[in-house]
Chains A and B, each alone.
Chain A
Amino acid sequence: MSTRVELRLPSRMEYLGVPDVVLLEVGAELGCGKRGLEELGTAIIEACTNAMEHGNHLADDLFIEIWFDLDDEGITITVLDQGPGFDHVGWRPSDDLMRQRGRGILIMREFTDFMEFGRHTDGRFLTRLVKKIGPGADPE
């Protein structure tokens, strides 16, 4: 059986920590391991950073939504923004270690079991992150 928790946030960076706190709460209920939750929390923060900054351009009148879908196999996070999206098909990681930007997608990819970008049926751009989390999934 699946449960959904929904969050709606203004596009302001000072609220980036809110989904992380929510994740810790819902993850504790599922019996998730600490390391897995921290990794997923870091990935969610990146997705929300992109949604607020690049999607909604930090506009005061635009919001992001985060959906936490929980079931026995893990957690699926969907982050939605009102922006135009970006060329995720053409994205490639950079080799320049000293670059100051452009690590968000890499971090999301490395800390989740599955990541995808797309469009919700209402037109909003979405980022979906899946993490298999449960008593047996965390290597810690």
Chain B
Amino acid sequence: MPYPVPGGGGPSPDPPPAHTTARRKRPLKIKERKRDGVAILEMSGKLMGGPDADAFDETLKTLIHEGCRNVIVNMEKVSWVNSTGLGILISGYTTLKKSGGELKLLKVSDRIENIFIVSKLYTVFASFQDEEEAVRSFS
């Protein structure tokens, strides 16, 4: 049962006019390209769950369907990840592993790397700072 909030807690007393309703942008964008048979997913924005999970999952399923099971996720333009976002990466890792492939990470920032360290996920995900090295690691 919700607890009362001082002042009400209901809708804002001055809701914005209908024509100013903001469009909701997806927080995470995914661009895909291939290099030497490896799919590179360029992620940008925030990795935090919700529709991002579906978009990432669909992207991987399409790649698997096309016969591409080795994937590099470029995290250079990901500003932050929350624990739900970590779950998305783990889900992707598991999906590819079951299909005989692998998911690796590229250009993870110091901030996000710290999260991988405290959660011990650095022992699961191979991570690279150089794209060529990441691609070669699959051969």
Contacts and interface: CB of A to CB of B under 8 A. Distances in A.
Interface of A: 13-14, 16-17, 20, 35, 38-39, 41-42, 45-46, 49, 53, 56, 59, 61-63, 82-84, 97-104, 106-107, 110-111, 122-125
Given A17-B79, A45-B82, A82-B2, A63 B9 contact: yes
A98 B94 contact: yes
Given A14-B24, A49-B84, 9 more contacts: A14-B27, A16-B46, A35-B114, A61-B11, A62-B2, A98-B124, A106-B119, A107-B119, A123-B4
Nearest to A45: B82
Nearest to A119: B3
Contacts of B13: none
A56 B1 CA distance: 10
Counting from the closest, the 9 A-B pairs by CB-CB distance are: A100-B87, A123-B3, A103-B83, A110-B118, A38-B111, A82-B2, A104-B83, A82-B3, A45-B82
A97 B123 contact: yes
Interface of B: 1-6, 9-11, 24-25, 27, 46, 48-50, 79-80, 82-84, 86-88, 90-91, 94, 110-111, 114-115, 118-121, 123-124
Contacts of B123: 97
B79 A83 contact: no
Nearest to A109: B118
Contacts of B3: 82-83, 122-125
Of B2, B9, B80, most A-chain CB atoms within 10 Å: B2
A39 to B, nearest CB: 7
B2 A83 contact: yes
Nearest to A17: B46
Contacts of B90: 98-100
B48 A42 contact: no
A62 B84 CA distance: 21
Contacts of A104: 82-83
Nearest to A108: B83
Contacts of A38: 110-111, 114
Of A42, A123, A124, most B-chain CB atoms within 10 Å: A42
13 contacts: A35-B110, A35-B114, A38-B110, A41-B111, A82-B3, A83-B3, A84-B1, A97-B124, A101-B83, A101-B87, A103-B83, A103-B119, A124-B5
